[in-house]
């Protein structure tokens, strides 16, 4: 989840969301994992491989619960091979990307950490598999607001990946995307745009089709252009992302939430309040249905919808949405996260406008303590 420092009115911070270029680790790792095959069933084929491929397919389609069932079945197939089997690291990498997509970042980080340890023990720290696992760990650390840690890891992963898999490999491109996300979150907007353009160019030239990744990269570039107040290019790339998603994904895929957030920010920044007011109820209902009521992306949409209401003077409506966003972020992100802190500050700002300064001071104090602890 991305939160910018751009201001609306006095202190209101609008949250923007870069789409992770989620790819399943075993696309690279499994083929090179030197372990004996699990005895095939009568239908033929390695059952571990079968479960992993089906899990990847379902995750691509946004069917996260069914994907988890397949990954758990793949893990069960490895029970006889012990905790050090590198394929267990592959499964944990994929479960971590799944948990990240579901907004369960704490569990995703633990899975990523375990995967990293297994893969490092098997292949060492100069192997492409280790670079992929390190990138996964960096992405989750970024989602948890640990930006310095995340940047250090992803830059290390890029150094390992460049000579081992090359700069045109989709895993290398994904590492660049993670770096762009970190740069954006830490206020280096121009650098983030430059890196994200590299991602888009590389995917457009890729020999192996990667429609989902390219659509997500278009969405990210749209978000960055909108944050830079370049609304024409922002709309152009948002349309490219939407068109590609509609051609390649089910209409109820969760990834479309990212595009809705960008569209809402365009409405807000261009003061198209009538369009935004019509858009918001259906957007929140659909995002909640697709992601669940406690997903951080739902909190982000609530925050931005509150910004629309606050800009129109609908302060009570804004406070109601912000309180929901705070509750979700507390549960999903933990008690100390930059996104939670800025949501608290947003809520405090609206409360001050409602002459509820006592409540506002309490929220501001919580946010200050939180941000100080995160420095």
- Between CA 178 and CA 249, with CA 102 as vertex, the angle to 5 degrees is 80
Residue ending a domain, choose from 208, 223, 258: 208
| Residue 6 and residue 68 in one domain | no
Residue ending a domain, choose from 208, 229, 250: 208
| Residue 116 and residue 6 in one domain | no
**How many CB atoms neighbour CB 197 within 10 A?**
14
| Residue 249 and residue 138 in one domain | no
The span from the CA of 275 to the CA of 317, in Å, is: 17
| Residue 150 and residue 268 in one domain | no
Kindly report the pTM of this predicted structure. 0.82
Q: How many CA atoms lie within 13 A of 299 on its CB side?
A: 26
Residue 359 tokens read as: 């409540």
pLDDT tens per residue, range 275-319: 999 999 999 999 999 989 999 889 999 999 999 999 999 999 999
CA distances 81 to 75, 111, 133, 184, 205, Å, are: 10, 19, 21, 42, 40
Residue 66 lies in a domain: yes
Cα pseudo-dihedral 134, 237, 268, 293, rounded to 10: -50
The domain in which residue 245 lies consists of 1-14+241-375
Look at the block and give the residue holding tokens 């979150």. 185
DSSP labels, 168-235? TSHHHHHHHHHHHHHHHHTT-HHHHHHHHHHHHHHHHH-SS--HHHHHHHHHHHHHHHHHTT-HHHHH
pLDDT over 70, % of the chain: 86
| Residue 177 and residue 43 in one domain | yes
Find all residues with CB under 8 Å of 160, minimum gap 6, and list them.
125, 126, 127, 128, 130, 131, 134
Residue 332 tokens read as: 């999903």
| Residue 174 and residue 322 in one domain | no
Q: Number of folded domains in the chain?
A: 2
**How many CB atoms neighbour CB 327 within 10 A?**
15
| Residue 40 and residue 114 in one domain | yes
pLDDT tens per residue, range 339-364: 888 899 999 999 999 999 999 999 98
The answer to whether 330 touches 367, Cβ cutoff 8 Å, is no
pLDDT at position 15 is 54
Residue 218 lies in a domain: no
Confidence of residue 374 (pLDDT cuts 50, 70, 90): low
**CATH code of the domain in which 29 resides:** 1.25.40.10
Main-chain phi, psi angles of 37, to 5 degrees: -70, 145
Residue 67 lies in a domain: yes
| Residue 90 and residue 201 in one domain | yes
| Residue 173 and residue 26 in one domain | yes
| Residue 56 and residue 120 in one domain | yes
| Residue 10 and residue 46 in one domain | no
- For residues 246-259, give the mean pLDDT: 86
| Residue 8 and residue 42 in one domain | no
Residue 223 lies in a domain: no
Residue 235 lies in a domain: no
**Which residue(s) pair with 15 in the sheet?**
3
The answer to whether 318 touches 310, Cβ cutoff 8 Å, is yes
Residue ending a domain, choose from 190, 208, 226: 208
Helix 86-101 to helix 128-143 angle, to the nearest 10 degrees?
A: 30
pLDDT at 139 over 80: yes
pLDDT at position 306 is 94
Confidence of residue 248 (pLDDT cuts 50, 70, 90): confident
Residue 146 tokens read as: 């640990």
**How many CB atoms neighbour CB 47 within 10 A?**
17
pLDDT at 3 over 60: no
The answer to whether 245 touches 253, Cβ cutoff 8 Å, is yes
Residue 294 lies in a domain: yes
């Amino acid at each position: 989840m991305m939160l910018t420092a751009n201001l609306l009115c006095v202190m209101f911070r609008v949250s923007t969301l870069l789409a992770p270029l989620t790819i399943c680790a075993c696309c690279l790792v499994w083929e090179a994992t030197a372990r004996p095959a699990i005895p095939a069933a009568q239908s033929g084929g390695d059952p571990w491989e079968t479960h992993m491929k089906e899990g990847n397919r379902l995750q691509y389609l946004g069917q996260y619960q069914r994907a988890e069932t397949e990954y758990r079945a793949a893990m069960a197939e490895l029970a006889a091979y012990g905790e050090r089997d590198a394929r267990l690291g592959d499964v944990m990498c994929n479960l971590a990307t799944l948990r990240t997509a579901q907004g369960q970042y704490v569990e995703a980080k633990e899975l990523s950490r375990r995967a990293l340890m297994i893969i490092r023990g098997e292949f060492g720290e100069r192997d492409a598999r280790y670079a992929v696992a390190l990138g996964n760990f960096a992405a989750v650390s970024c989602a948890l607001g640990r930006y310095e840690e995340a940047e250090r890891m992803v830059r290390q992963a890029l150094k390992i990946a460049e000579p081992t898999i090359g700069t045109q490999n989709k895993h290398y491109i994904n590492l660049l995307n993670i770096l762009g996300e970190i740069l954006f979150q830490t206020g280096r907007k121009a650098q983030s745009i430059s890196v994200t353009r590299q991602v888009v160019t590389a995917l457009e030239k890729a020999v192996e089709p990667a429609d989902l990744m390219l659509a997500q990269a278009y969405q990210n570039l749209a978000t960055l252009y909108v944050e830079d107040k370049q609304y024409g290019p922002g709309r152009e790339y948002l349309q490219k992302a939407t068109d590609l998603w509609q051609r390649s994904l089910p209409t109820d895929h969760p990834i479309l939430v990212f595009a809705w957030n960008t569209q809402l920010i365009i409405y807000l920044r261009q003061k198209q309040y009538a369009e935004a007011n019509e858009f918001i109820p259906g957007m929140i209902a659909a995002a909640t249905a697709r992601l669940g009521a406690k997903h951080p992306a739902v909190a982000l949409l609530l925050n931005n919808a509150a910004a629309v209401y606050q800009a129109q003077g609908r302060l009570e409506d804004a406070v109601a949405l912000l309180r929901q966003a705070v509750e979700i972020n507390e549960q999903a992100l933990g008690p100390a996260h930059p996104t939670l802190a800025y949501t608290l500050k947003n809520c405090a700002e609206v409360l001050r406008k409602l002459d509820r300064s006592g409540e506002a001071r309490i929220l501001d104090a919580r946010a200050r303590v939180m941000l100080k602890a995160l420095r």
